[in-house]
Chain A
Amino acid sequence: MQLDFTARELTIKLVYYGPALSGKTTNLQALHAASSPEATGRLMTLETRDDRTLFFDLLPLTFSSEKGLSVRLKVFTVPGQVIHASTRRLVLQGADGVVFVADSREAETEHNAESFRDLRENLKQNGLSTKQLPLVLQFNKRDLPSVRTEAELTDMAAQGKEPVYLAVATKGHGVVDTFVGLLHLTWQTLDMRHGFTEKFGFESSAFFADVLGKLNDPRTLPEVLNSRVGRRGLRKEVAQ
């Protein structure tokens, strides 16, 4: 996170993490396609080979509330293959929130677990942990055969504290939900820590209205947040 007091400008770093070929880049492409030109810049893809990300993808997004802060988002993906551990650690440095993109297929369960352990380890090396860091899970590729059942994932989600979203990133399903879910969680965490609302008169609801507007999503924030599976009752703020 970077805060420029004089320009009243906040930069937040979000990272899409997950095993190789789980659809991290596809998420960013879908997000880029959904967002209005005035909110987003070019999607930067750094070094690819055979459609695999070698370094990272970077999508810049800019949102603002009527008064107060303008918020610049830098959305990154990491390279999924095991050998790029050092690059993943570098990209993860200074992340404010993380989406873990898991492959829903039964056969990929072990790869998901391995990548999640890798995430934990790399966070630890950067002095962070999944406990403090805003984290959202996405089970992608829901349209493929032999995926883990929705009932199973809902059940799992109900036991964990991280919000869980289902997605088909190639069709853009669940992409905005996951992104807004993470942004909301990240915002709450940062606001609690730094008190932006107090200092800048930031209006959270106006900001998220701008986000959803620029992502061309007709739903309201509570509607989007409630699309997560296995939630344990509504949060107070969301229920309003």
Chain B
Amino acid sequence: MKSERPLRSLDELTLDSKFSIQELISRESFDVLLRSMNELFAVPIRVFATDGALFSEVGPASPLQSYLGTLPGARRSVRETVEQVKSSTPQGDNDLRLQGETGERYTVIALTYDGRPLGRAVVGPYVLPSESMPQALAQCDPLVSSDRLTQVWGEISRSDEASVARLARHLRSMLGLILFSGHRALLASNMHIASVQESFRELSEKSATLQAAYERLKELDRLKSNFLATVSHELRTPLTSIIGYSEMLVAGIAGDINEEQRDFIGTIHDKGEQLLELIKGLLDLTKLESGTLNLHKLDIPILPILKDIVHTLTPTARNKGVILSATGDAGMPTLWGDAARLRQVFLNLTENAIKFTPAGGHVTLSAQIAHVELPTDEEGPAIVLRGVKRPMIEVRVADTGIGIPESERPRVFDAFYQVDSSSTREQGGTGLGLSIVKRLVDAHDGTVEIGENIPRGAVFVVRIPCKRLSFFG
């Protein structure tokens, strides 16, 4: 992303810096400085920018010039004095001392910064403490009044040249410091802006790279889902034949077979079924991921599903020496869901529980009604609905097995994830089951969480809404 440049670049501010006095100094603050100088030295001071514009002034206008301005014969010498002051430009630290025809004195000081002219300071008019007025002044005009002339001459500021030189020195060093500070502040603020802009540019570039990588990963993920769907589908077709023909062989349709052959074919059939389940799982997962799985939702009771699962898995549990049971209140409301898919959910969780529970342990399925507050992070309705509790059926699948470490809990629902991923792990499985569980529960607008079964084992808590709420559509 292209960012705007700061007001002036670092190079512009340091290499070809031609500053005007107005840019670096606040006029109001400078007036204060000049007034205090005037208090100390009691002479008028005027500061001009390089273009000749008056920047700041302190002290009265010359009383002598005001008076002479009223006399036609004296106007010329006043004008010439002013012109002389205006046109003189001193070089470097060499102050220029001038005395006009009127007898008034001026000192012109060059103001510079970083070797470049910044303006001029004009000190005056003043006269030396004991200086008397020039003789010529009394004859400058026939109308001149010598009393008045003596009076205005007395009103001119008095100062000796050494004081004025001191003033010039002070003014220069004071101004140098102020200009330096001003320049420094200007540079610092510009650097702040420029650094932030540069960092922003850098971050924008990185973020664009990350965005591109993210898009690519999303695309790869989509390709993976497509691939899984295609492969699962293609695998299922020949597998159906393998299972079908092995069933026919066992049934004796192709002729008699002996016990051993029946046993072998039985194994082929069972393993084929196992493989088919795995492939179906993959297919379900891809359908769930792409959102194309159709649920046939109805008002259904939960207890028959749990009892059926206990019935189905009791032989497995018994083989492992695990006690399997289901409890629940017969008067519970129905829930809104797809019976076959919910059976798949609880079958999977119960199988898992049995798998990870050692002999002598318990696996318990219990159902009860729970009133759950609606999440408040939804937009709009959440505020209105705050405090409204939604009735849900809560099913807890609790075991007394090895449990799931807290750090692993958020990840067990990821596809293909195994808590123990070492090649020597004790339990088999593809790592697909729980991710399918999570997606099926999501598709029911429900939640699934993992808790601890005190004192030992894990408990999966699944909550499915009792009714479709009409205002949720």
Contact = CB atoms under 8 A, between A and B. Distances in A.
Contacts of B10: 90-91, 93
A153 B25 CA distance: 50
A41 B11 contact: no
B19 to A, nearest CB: 13
Contacts of B199: 86
B358 to A, nearest CB: 54
Interface residues of A, number: 26
A55 B15 contact: no
Interface stretch (B183-191, B252-260, B339-347): B183-191
Contacts of B195: 55, 84, 86-87, 90
Nearest to A38: B92
B114 interface: yes
A132 interface: no
Nearest to B200: A86
A46 B199 CA distance: 19
A5 to B, nearest CB: 13
A190 to B, nearest CB: 14
A47 B195 CA distance: 13
Contacts, number: 58
Interface in B189-203: 191, 194-195, 198-199, 202
Nearest to A4: B16
A74 interface: yes
B240 interface: no
Contacts of B176: 42
A13 B15 contact: yes
Interface string A198-235: 00000000000000000000000000000000000000
Interface string B6-17: 000111001110
A2 interface: yes
B114 A41 contact: yes
Nearest to B185: A46
Contacts of A2: 11, 15-16
B11 A93 contact: yes
Contacts of A60: 114-115
A126 to B, nearest CB: 11
A62 B10 CA distance: 19
Interface in A16-37: none
B264 interface: no
A41 B14 CA distance: 13
A60 B14 CA distance: 9
Interface of A: 2, 4, 11, 13, 41-42, 44, 46-47, 55-56, 58, 60, 62, 72, 74, 76, 84-87, 89-91, 93-94
Given A2-B16, A4-B16, 18 more contacts: A2-B11, A11-B15, A41-B114, A42-B176, A42-B180, A44-B183, A46-B184, A46-B188, A47-B191, A55-B188, A55-B191, A74-B14, A74-B15, A86-B195, A89-B198, A93-B9, A93-B10, A94-B11
Interface of B: 9-11, 14-16, 114-115, 176, 180, 183-184, 187-188, 191, 194-195, 198-199, 202
User: 5 closest A-B pairs (Cβ-Cβ)?
Assistant: A86-B198, A55-B191, A2-B16, A86-B199, A94-B11
